[in-house]
Amino acid sequence: MARGPKPAGRPALAVDGKSLRGAARARGRKIHLLAALEHTTGLVLAQLDVGDKTNEITRFQPLLKTVVGLAGVVVTADALHTQREHAAYLLGRQAHYIVIVKGNVRNFRKQLKALPWSDIPLQGRTRGVGHSRSEIRRIKACTVTAAVVLDR
């Protein structure tokens, strides 16, 4: 298969968990996997079973430890992975990250609201219906220094 030109920008991985449909273990427990997926190709680079006695949060670092060369890579994850330990781990591997901040992380959200958002250009906007409700999603990105601390 011929490869096209390398996309501009940084390489990126999405970390996300999914329960497998139609697959179950003994006693009916669904199989739940956590995977690291390369954004441009859709290739799964790593995948772990989350297991009965744990959750996605505890499997984040073990999953990414199996991925070689995270330096310079942007790791995206949903709000569940907006964790101080995850951020510290990724910075220790010289990776960048994009996480979602919801209202339940009050102190962190308060700090982020204090940023000069009106000066930051809008990167994208989508409108759609998801989970039976109308959604508008806006994307703005900026670099934040250590002065903003992820605190759950």
Per-residue pLDDT tens digits for 41-52: 999 999 999 987
Q: Which of 152, 13, 151, 39 is nearest to 93 (CA)?
A: 13
Residue 13's DSSP bridge partners are 38, 75
Answer yes or no: are the C-beta atoms of 37 and 43 closer than 8 Å.
yes
Q: Does position 109 have pLDDT exceeding 70, yes or no? A: yes
CB 128 within 8 A of CB 146: no
Q: Give per-residue pLDDT as tens, 89-99.
A: 999 999 999 88
- For position 61, what pLDDT does the model report? 96
pTM: 0.76
